[in-house]
Chains A and B, each alone.
Chain A
Amino acid sequence: MDVLLLSRLQFAMTCFFHFLFVPLTLGLSFLVAIFETAYVRTGNDDWRKATKFFGKLFLINFAVGVVTGIPLEFQFGTNWANYSKYVGDIFGSLLAVEATVTFFLESTFIAVWFFGWKRLSKGLHLTSIWIVAIASNMSAFWIIAANAWMQHPVGYVIRNGRAELDNFRQVVTQKFAIVEFLHTAGGAWILGGFFVMGISAWHLARGSHVEVFRRTFRVAAIWSLAMCVFEISQGHLSAEILSTAQPAKLAAMESHWETSESVPMNLVAWPDEKGERNAVEALPIPGALSFLAHYDFKASVKGLKDIPRDERPPVLPVFLSFRAMVGLGIMLFLVSVWAFWKRRQAVEQKLLLRLLPWLIPVPYLVNLLGWTVAEVGRQPWIVYGVMRTEHGVSKIAASQVWGSLAMFFVIYSLLGAVDFYLLLKFARKGPLPETHSASKA
């Protein structure tokens, strides 16, 4: 394998691994902040237990999130030197803003929160978890703005042999960035909700700490439904924006070959990339793709055949990931309706309580599928329409990349296993009975 393929593999692997931890940080930080707010307002000790219990899981997750984030920043320089040289003027600034404005806040105040239970007033302690929640999510915004610029570059001019900033405001306020952020954050918030529901359900099914988990279940059920509704209601914006910004990706998502009007959405299909058609096509919903892209059942949608072969993304992974994301997303929505409906009598819902813990991995998968659509669908471009991926890679020895790829594979497998084991262990253990000994565990 050459440096290009190895570097792509390494970035994909380290990015996916990192994104196993990020969405829980984004979602759970808000839920822990809500639990602590309830504690500060009511003084009810069950809320304090809930805060500490989910706070501990938050920290176990956060530790791996932090250490796996830095390799991503480094890789732009190590593996994608030509990309960095070409777009650093814009892309580098967004990463730098993320570090100074938000990452400092979240990393400093998570420690203040964890170590400060006895050293800060209740109000200040509560403030610090809200700072963590808001800063983490703002962090995500800057990173997404940087990614959105790769997906849909705006506010730049090509000058001095590189892309230079022309309009900063346009870069950070472009619709693509806002839509992508809302969709990514929504997915993370859903994941946080299902995480809390799943663990609460596990304990409720066993009758352990019912007073604590009854409460967290109720909050998480309301949260999850609200976030699912939010995600579905703006999800179509992501498809709509692609029709103009990245028609090739949209066409690949639907395996849509011929530019035509009144394009249906086929519930069952299988792309045949060589033959430039679908090998199987059945159960069309008339005009659905046209409507999704343009709010008009009759509108014309560009097909893959009108995009040069060497500018098309790999169709099958994009198509399948999109299908799976939408299908599983709808399932999560239905479950969240069910949970919301029965949130007050959760203790009696044996089937629901047994099901929810098993669903915890699903939103993780959905998040990664979404990223697969976004990133594989962007190919063959590293910056859409501006720079091809193969032109962004560093001129380095492949043996070095083999080495680092192997290193990441081994260390991430170990980290993943340890972190999963610890999360499981502390999730099962439940809140500690006494007030003081949180330190011991």
Chain B
Amino acid sequence: MLETIWFAIWGVAWAVYFMLDGFDLGLGALVPFVAKTETDKRIAVNAMGPFWDGNEVWLVTAGGVTFAAFPTAYAVMFSALYTPFMLLLLALILRGVAFEFRGKVDSPAWRSVWDASLAIGSSLAALLLGVAFANLFAGIPVDGEGVFHGNLFTFLHPYALAGGLFFVAAFLHHGLLWLAVKSDGELRERARVFAAKAWFGALVMAVVFLAWSAVRTDLWTNLLGRPVFLALPVLAVAGLVASTFFSRQGRVWAAWGASSLFIAASAGFGIAGMFPNIVASSLSPSFSVTAFNAASSPLTLKIMLGVALSILPLVVAYQIWVYVRFGHVVDEDVLADEPGY
């Protein structure tokens, strides 16, 4: 029971991470393309300013939950995905410092270096997260000792690349809607036009990935055994449809909220479909690392459950407060008047 609860918390932590960091990864990837002038670029960067760091802590938390609740899964997953995760770290470093550095020297060349760093880091991170999770959905060649037999190219099969592109498309769409929320006038219009295009990309990739998952993985078969979770793919589709509907109506907050639902429910679909596997072995099902054979001791799970249930609601509360407090439109006046990147 405790293991199942922790698997759920584990899944929620990843889903929230993708939902939140998703928009700043997506927008970060597009800053040089959607924003033409330096003012527009600063608006886009400052639209993410108060949030990206707090969002990224959900990754640290998702990692921490894996480590604390399922240490064996942490060991197997991270050592198997060694190179993809090292590249993910590189990507997150490149984009993280770009926020702080880009405005610190008054030179177009300097800024374009950090804009490139932000765009490359953000898109690479989105791609790698998708590739990594598609591999977890499909299973990877780990033996009974949890030792991985393969190399970087083992992970780059077509289904995994489809997963990567699915993440990229969903995040780009999510980020553009966020820019629409945080800007106005011509920039907001451009963000919405771009978002409509990205929406098609997200739709195509979602269909491709969900259909391919039925063939390539056990996700759907698993979910059919627990039909209540079939609500997740339904919610994902509903979120995706609703986001373009709201966006066309100019209700940008609602559109962004629907896109958040799309991403969180998609992640939820994949993770619920994995249960109880965390790292499925493609060599033999008996080698798979599961919520049951990888779990920490009951005492640790209980103590950590107390911590999670008492602290995470507070975290959610103050992060929502920040989104409300800093949900204002960023325009030239705000840039001139207030501190920012």
Show the binding face of A for B, using Cβ within 8 Å: 59-60, 62-64, 66-71, 73-74, 76-79, 81-82, 84-85, 87-93, 95-101, 103-105, 107-108, 110-112, 114-120, 159-160, 162, 164-166, 168, 394-397, 400-401, 403-404, 407, 411, 415, 418-419, 422, 425-426, 436, 438-441
Contact = CB atoms under 8 A, between A and B. Distances in A.
A59 to B, nearest CB: 6
Interface in B73-87: 74-79, 81-83, 85-86
A436 B326 contact: no
Given A78-B79, A415-B97, A111 B53 contact: yes
A67 B304 CA distance: 26
B296 A92 contact: yes
A352 B51 CA distance: 42
Contacts of A69: 60
Contact of A89 (B71, B105, B322): B71
Contacts of B3: none
A81 B146 contact: yes
B50 A95 contact: no
| Interface residues of A, dominant DSSP | helix
A115 B61 contact: no
B99 A88 contact: no
Interface string B176-191: 0000000000000000
B54 A96 contact: no
30 contacts: A63-B97, A63-B101, A66-B53, A67-B96, A73-B63, A74-B85, A74-B89, A78-B79, A85-B75, A87-B71, A88-B67, A88-B71, A89-B300, A92-B68, A96-B61, A96-B69, A99-B60, A100-B307, A107-B56, A108-B315, A111-B51, A112-B50, A115-B339, A116-B326, A119-B338, A407-B90, A411-B93, A418-B97, A426-B104, A436-B337
B173 to A, nearest CB: 24
Interface of B: 49-51, 53-54, 56-57, 59-61, 63-72, 74-79, 81-83, 85-86, 89-90, 92-94, 96-97, 99-101, 103-105, 145-148, 151, 296-297, 299-300, 303-304, 307-308, 311-312, 315, 318-319, 322, 325-326, 328, 335-340
Contacts of A68: 93
Contacts of A415: 93, 97
Contacts of A425: 104-105
Contacts of A97: 68, 304, 307
Given A104-B57, A115-B339, A63 B90 contact: no
Nearest to B145: A395
Contact of A82 (B70, B75, B336): B75
B74 A418 contact: no
